[in-house]
Amino acid sequence: MGERTVTSGGEVLRELLAEGVSPWLDGLHRSLLTSGTLTRLVAGGRARGATTDPGVLAAEVSGGTSYAQQLSHLACRSVPLTTAVQALCAYDLRTACDELRPVFAATQGLDGHVSMDPVVYPGGCAGALADAAVALHRAACRPNALVKLPATDDGLAAAGECLAQGIGVHVTGICSVQRYEQVVDVWFAGLERARDAGLDLSVIPSLAALPVARIDAEADGRLRDAGAAPELRGTAALAVARLVYRQYEEGLGSARWRVLAAAGARPQRLMWAVGSGVPYVESLVAWGTVSAMSEAALGAVVERGRLRGDTLTGQDGAARAAVARLERCGVSFGEVAKTLEADSAKHRVSSWRALRGVVGERLRA
């Protein structure tokens, strides 16, 4: 489908779904569960999935009261710190999965998932990541639970192991076409191992997520530093997304995929992690994708969103031209990806330390 103008307002989410894009809530935490907010978002069709991260949980434990009762019970039982963090995360994951179970059932497992990072010590190796992911999935004990793993070498190794065991994965922090190609290869290999083990491939979902706002921010910063081409600011993420979407289409056209599809596998979906960036929801539209956004962004999209139809299919030529222009102006996409991956690793470490630190304080208190 080509670009076109559609009506704005409450109809925009239905238009997104018609274009094959699922809106997800990014930033899940306990108070969104206890207040009924997630229930209302799901019932109103605004959230067809949800995801969170340890940084969000750390902020909520530190500044809110929604975890107080469970933390009190854990403290009375002298539960170790790591076990306590796992208990908090598993409770949120189970509860959110139950809230989204109707969507999961209505879409026959296409939507209705909840993803969460496995509970690991900062800097865990591939084996530790895989073990923690399996433990979290087992603790959740829900068919619509996904484990979230970083698109690093260790994270991808852990993702492949999870897929081979029939556990759905959400790979995050994909900042380049080259890294996405690695993700696809790991996905194929994991499903092939699962097939060889006799597992049902139709119930092993997978997401591959790009932090589009962060890609633009890093590229735009380099343009500003070079004092070059201000008109190109805000174009890097769209170019990368279009090239990744082209790779997505090529992967689903491969002989390797046809064999897996014949065995019941479902396509891995692309996720645009847009946060609060409503313009990204409007500009990243194509079949088989997910837009993960904050609660505020979901409301803003409903109120003033405006779509232009499919913006990614068949746009790889324009994307290559945009990349070439940016490269000429001093934006190295390889360096952008390298910087963002390093920043993501630091963020993961600091988020887990913050979560463990604040949970430890609450247990002692």
Q: Any idea which residues carry the catalytic annotation?
A: 148
Buried b (16+ CB within 10 A) or exposed e, 110-139: bbbbbbbbbbbeeebebeebbbbbbbbbeb
Burial class (CB in 10 A: 0-12, 13-18, 19+), 228: middle
Residue 174 near residue 269 (C-beta atoms within 8 A)? no
Residue 298 near residue 25 (C-beta atoms within 8 A)? yes
Instruction: Give CA–CA dist 274/303, Å, rounded.
Output: 17
- The H or E element that residue 334 is part of is helix 333-364
Instruction: Give CA–CA dist 118/93, Å, rounded.
Output: 11
209 CB neighbour count, 10 Å cutoff: 24
Buried b (16+ CB within 10 A) or exposed e, 28-42: bbbebbeeebbeebb
What number of residues does the chain have? Answer: 365
